Structure 1
Amino acid sequence: MYYRWLDRWDERRTRRSDDVKKVTDLVLAPEFAFPETEVVTEIGAFCETAERAASASDAFFSPPSALPDVIWDRGFLRFPSDILTETTENNLVHAQLTRSKRRDHALLVFHHWNASSRNAQLSRFFSRHGISVFEMALPYHLERSRPGSTYADHMLSPNLGRTIQSFRQAVVDGRQLIRIVQRAGYEKVSVLGVSLGSWVAGLVAAHEPAVKKASLLLTAGDLAEMVWTGGATRHIRASLEGRIELSDLQRAWAPLNLENHATKLARPDLDVQIVLAKRDRVVLPALSERLVRRLEGADSMPDVKRLNCGHYSLTLPPYIIFTGMRVSRFLNR
């Protein structure tokens, strides 16, 4: 009885923004994803270019050597993004800081898709446990939202090139933020990502040697298959189906697939935690388990917690309490 109610509650939450999510057209837009390459006009060439970027991901997700100018202002820090887009608001990175009494451990938090606010309760929880929290706005979210948009459609969409650009921008911004917090005196750096933010956190952890712990909540590896099968991205599948096969979408988004970076996530000095929901209909549990197996196959031993709830009901007691305590122990041990 309880789990039937829980499943219905999750399904209502999943469909809550369906009325504003639009079915559009497949767009390659390689100039967003691969501005340095020659003109790409068909899907096969796009996929080949994406696979080359995935195989050279250290360069693809590398920030420039120079640190940006940073403004610290009343609990926020702001700096210009190194990847420029046509949306002016999106080109300035905003991160909110919740300080701990200790100043040695910084946690970068990457929120979920279409977040309308930061999680003050989460930040206070970790700050009480000795960790300063930096909540960075993902591209096209919060202060970086595109004027007139009703949701963050430029972050994840049937526009293949812009989606890659948005994730690349998020990873480069995150790596710059890590350099900034290190310069501010934080010696230990961890990352935490929720749902779509877990892909960003995973990509940052895989490519940034300064990260020593990565907590990935409601995550999986294959972004393309998550979009194809997930309840919150039905409109994107409807936009793509009949125009591109899932196998080609997986190739096109190869740089964003955490399974392709499993070896980097399995490096000896990085601890990885995965929290998955066994009743999840947004990020299917089978996809999460596949990432776990890929990490284990790369000689990693991730800390895995499986909760009997759905994607959104993870935020309800007792699941959110279990999660908070598990993550806190993982980050502090």
Structure 2
Amino acid sequence: MFHSWLDRWDERRAARGDAVKTTTRFALGADLAFPGAGRVESITEFCALADHAVADPGYFDEPTGADPTFEFEDDRLRFRSGMSSEVEENNTVWAKVTDSGSRGQALVVFHHWNASARYRQIARFFARRGITVVEIALPYHFERSRPGSLYADHMLSANLGRTIQSLRQAAWDGRKLIGWLQREGYGEISVLGMSLGSWVAGLIAAHEPAVSKAALFLTAGRLADMVWTGRATQAIRESLEPAIDQEDLRRAWGPLDLEKYAHLLARDDLDLHLVLARRDTVVLPDLSDRLVQTLKDAGANPGILELNCGHYSLSMPPYILWAGLSTARLLRHGR
């Protein structure tokens, strides 16, 4: 009976999110994902560029250049993104710092899609354990929101190229922030991502050698499959389906597929921890299971915590407490 109530609670929470989401026009947007690629007029051409990006080890490396100015006042950090979008507000990166008083460990947190508030309780939980927490705003969220938008429709959408651009920008921003933390003297840097934020955290963990531990909550490998099958992204699928099938979408969004980087996530000096919800209707459990198996096949030995809750009810006790404690053990001792 309790789990039936939990499922209904998750469904009501999902329905509230649906109230502001709308279908949008499908677009390739290749110039956003692959600058300088020239005129791209077909899905086949777009997918060929995506294949090339997957094979490019530097695709998630920000071009070298002068370091930005970091402005840190009270608990707020601000710096210029290395990627420029058409929304000026999005081009300044904001982060909230919950200082533990120690330069030993820092944890960079990447929130979920359409988050309405930062994770104050999570930040305090880890700060009390001697870990400084830095909550970065993903593109088009919080201070970076597009004026007039009701949700972060530019972060994840039926515009193939803009979605890649947004997650690539998030990875660049996160890596730039990690560089700042290194210069500030933090000896160990970890990442934690929630839902869509777990894709960003996973991409960074795969490509940024300074990250030693990664906790991925409510995650899977193929972003395309999550969008196609997930409860929270039905409006995006409705926009995509007349123009592209699921198989082509997998290939088009290949650069965002964590399974493509399983060999990088399996490196010896990275500890991985996954927190999964067995009643999840947003990131379906079989998609998470596929990522776990792909990681193991690549030689990784991730810690796995499976909870009998839904996507949204992970935020409720006791589930969030169990997730927090398991992550605290990872940060303290490794896998």
TM-score by length of 2: 0.98
Structure 1 position 214, deviation (Å) = 0.3
The residue type equivalent to 2:12 in the other structure is R
Q: Helix, strand or coil for the counterpart of 1:275?
A: strand
Q: Does 1:246 align with 2:237?
A: no
Equivalent pairs, count: 332
Q: 5 Å matches for 1:282-301?
A: 282-301=282-301
> Which ranges of structure 1 fall in alignment gaps of 5 or more residues?
none
1:194 and 1:218 in contact (8 A); partners too = yes
What do the CA deviations read for 1:205-230 (whole angstroms, capped 9, x no partner)? 00000000000000001000000000
Select between 59-68 and 191-200 the one with higher mean Cα deviation. Answer: 59-68
**Residues 67 and 180 in structure 1, CA contact (< 8 A), matched pair in contact too:** no
Q: Secondary structure at the match of 2:114?
A: coil
CA distance in 1, matches of 2:14, 2:55: 34
- For 1:178-228, what per-residue CA distance to the aligned partner results, in whole angstroms no more than 9, with x for missing partners? 000100110100000000000000000000000000000000010000000
* Counterpart check, 1:165 vs 2:165: yes
Structure 2 match to 1:60? 59
Displacement of 1:47: 0.5
Partner of 1:184: 184
**Deviation by residue 1:255-305 (Cα, 9 ceiling, x = unmatched):** 000000100000110011000000000000000010000000001100001
Distance 2:16 2:51 in 1: 35
**What residue identity is the alignment partner of 2:9?**
W
- Looking at structure 2, the residues matched to 172 and 321 of structure 1 have their Cα atoms a distance apart, in angstroms, of 30
Aligned twin of 1:76: 76
Mapped partners of 1:204, 1:332: distance in 2: 21
1:294-313 aligned within 5 A: 294-313=294-313
Mapped contact 1:212–1:271 kept (Cα < 8 A): yes
For the 8 Å contact 1:67–1:179, the answer to whether it is kept is: no
Query: 1:123 is aligned with what amino acid?
Result: A
Q: Distance in 2 between matches of 1:198 and 1:165?
A: 16
Structure 2 unaligned regions, length at least 5: none
Q: Distance in 2 between matches of 1:155 and 1:230?
A: 16
Give the partner amino acid of 1:276: L
Query: Deviation of residue 321 (structure 1)?
Result: 1.0
Deviation at 1:37, TM superposition (A): 1.3
Aligned amino acid, residue 231 of structure 2: G
2:95 corresponding residue in structure 1: 95
SS where residue 150 of structure 2 aligns? coil
Question: How far apart, CA to CA, are the structure 2 residues paired with 1:100 and 1:317?
Answer: 24
> 2:270 matched to which residue of 1?
270
Residue in structure 1 matched with residue 139 of structure 2 by the alignment? 139
How much has 1:19 moved relative to structure 2?
2.1
Cα deviation for residue 242 of structure 1 reads 2.4
Residue equivalent to 1:149: 149
Residue 5 of structure 2 corresponds to residue 5 of structure 1: yes
Q: Structure 1: which amino acid aligns with 2:150?
A: T
Identify the residue that residue 321 of structure 2 maps to in structure 1. 321
Q: Secondary structure at the match of 1:153?
A: coil
Q: Could you say what the CA RMSD is over the residues aligned between the two structures, in angstroms?
A: 0.7
Does the Cα contact within 8 Å between 1:226 and 1:282 map onto a contact in 2?
yes
User: What is the alpha-carbon distance in structure 2 between the residues aligned to residue 19 and residue 190 of structure 1?
Assistant: 35
Structure 1 distance, partners of 2:223, 2:252, is 11
Question: Distance in 2 between the 1:82 and 1:165 partners?
Answer: 12
SS at match of 1:296: helix
- Per the TM alignment, residue 68 of structure 1 is displaced from its structure 2 partner at its CA by 1.2
**Does 1:223 find its partner at 2:223?**
yes
Q: Which residue of 2 aligns with 1:85?
A: 85
| Whole-angstrom CA distance in 2 between matches of 1:6 and 1:300 | 33
Identity %: 58
1:200-211 map, 5 Å: 200-211=200-211
- The offset of 1:177, in angstroms, is 0.3
- The 8 Å contact of residues 94 and 137 in structure 1, kept in 2 or not, is answered as yes
Find the aligned partners of 1:302 and 1:54 in 2 and give their Cα distance: 23
Q: Which amino acid aligns with 1:114?
A: N
Deviation at 1:36, TM superposition (A): 2.1
Rounded to whole Å, the distance in 2 between the matches of 1:74 and 1:101 is: 14
CA distance, structure 2, for counterparts of residue 10 and residue 116 of structure 1: 17
Matched position secondary structure for 2:58? helix
Shift of 1:64: 3.1
